Amino acid sequence: MTTEPNDHSQSSTTPQSAHAHAARRVASMRSSPLTMVAFVLMISAVGVTAWQWYVAADVGSELQSEVEALNTQQEEAAASAQQTETALHATEAKLAALEAKWVESQAQQTTLQNLYVELTRNREDSALTDIEQSILLASQQLQIAANVRAALLGLENAQSRLQTLSHPRYANLRREVVRDIDRLRALPQFDVHGLSASIDDLLVAVNSLPLAMDARTRPEPVATVVVNDSWWSRLAQDFWQELRQLVRVQRTGEREIELLAPDQVFFLRENIKLRLLSARVALLSRDAKSYRQDLQAVQDMLGAHFEIAHRSVAETRVTLTRLQGVGVQVEVPDLAHTLEALRQLRHTPVVAAPSR
């Protein structure tokens, strides 16, 4: 209770002392120039600080704008990078697809090339087989039968097949075939088939050729003269005819005709046929000696046992003479060089054409 007046007195005296203290400070400031300068400097510092704050705020705003612009550019660059990365992945995918297609096309090209080589090899093997058969057939015709015409046909067939093969490996065989064809064409030619056909005609005609003994023993026709119709006249004529058959007088000249039994006649004609067949075999084998000997034996048998005055026998002998005059022996060349070229070609591997 005793302290309340004191507190009130202290609170009433405190504002007065503060005003007094401020007044003293103002008075002291007014009285001191240095204080005024300090005050001005303080005011200037505040202004400069305010100006700097303003400038800093403006620069910060610009920096913030630039930072925002940079962020925007960065976002755009990130988006562009994302798009670029996406495009790069798409390009890589396309490149991988193209590479896969290229590998597939290379595999297909290799397969097609192998098929082409295989087809070419099969085609060439087939053609070479035909050529080999033709050449071997021509060689057999020359060595066994000396048939120049058949050998020439075989070589010409081989030449035509070789013209379809353009590979240089066939050049040697083609050259040898052409050389053999020229050699065969230079040989003297004669119609083997025509001569063989003539011999066949003689074989057919042998059975119808008349024998000489049949022509000599054939009874001559007697003209019957009828004087009258009396019975004793007819009886006398019959008696006379029978008497003439008992004795026959004929002139044989210098040629002696041998009488043959029916079985001997059969074997005679068969021997002539065998001789003609032997002559045909000699013709095909170019055996001139056997060919002429067989034909001469047929000529001798015709002259000894057949009626040489008959037209068919005369024509047969003329044909035999013509056949004897044909030279059938020809020195035929061999096809050794062509066969050797064919053997070398068979042992030469096929070289595949280079890929493009």
Instruction: Name the residue ranges covered by the structural domains of the chain.
Output: 103-188+335-346, 191-217+257-329
**pLDDT given for residue 44 in this prediction:** 82
pLDDT, tens only, 244-255 = 666 655 555 555
Mark residue 355 as left, alpha or beta (left: phi above 0; alpha: psi -120 to 50; beta: remaining). beta
**pLDDT given for residue 11 in this prediction:** 44
**pLDDT given for residue 57 in this prediction:** 72
- The pLDDT of residue 285 is above 60: yes
**pLDDT given for residue 7 in this prediction:** 45
Residues 286 and 329 sit within 8 Å (Cβ to Cβ):
yes
Task: Please give the Cα distance from 57 to 46 (Å, whole number).
Answer: 16
- The pLDDT of residue 346 is above 60: yes
Task: Please give the Cα distance from 280 to 203 (Å, whole number).
Answer: 11
Tell me the C-alpha to C-alpha distance, in Å, between residue 106 and each of 38, 91, 99, 101, 354: 95, 22, 10, 8, 15
Beta bridge partners of 306: 211
Split at pLDDT 50, 70, 90, the class of 319 is very high
**pLDDT given for residue 255 in this prediction:** 57
When comparing pLDDT for 67 and 216, which is higher?
A: 67
User: Across the chain, what does the average pLDDT equal?
Assistant: 78
**pLDDT given for residue 300 in this prediction:** 92
- The pLDDT of residue 295 is above 90: yes
pTM above 0.75, yes or no: no
Tell me the C-alpha to C-alpha distance, in Å, between residue 1 and each of 7, 62, 246: 11, 68, 227
H-helix or E-strand containing 112? helix 33-140
Section 51-66 average pLDDT: 76
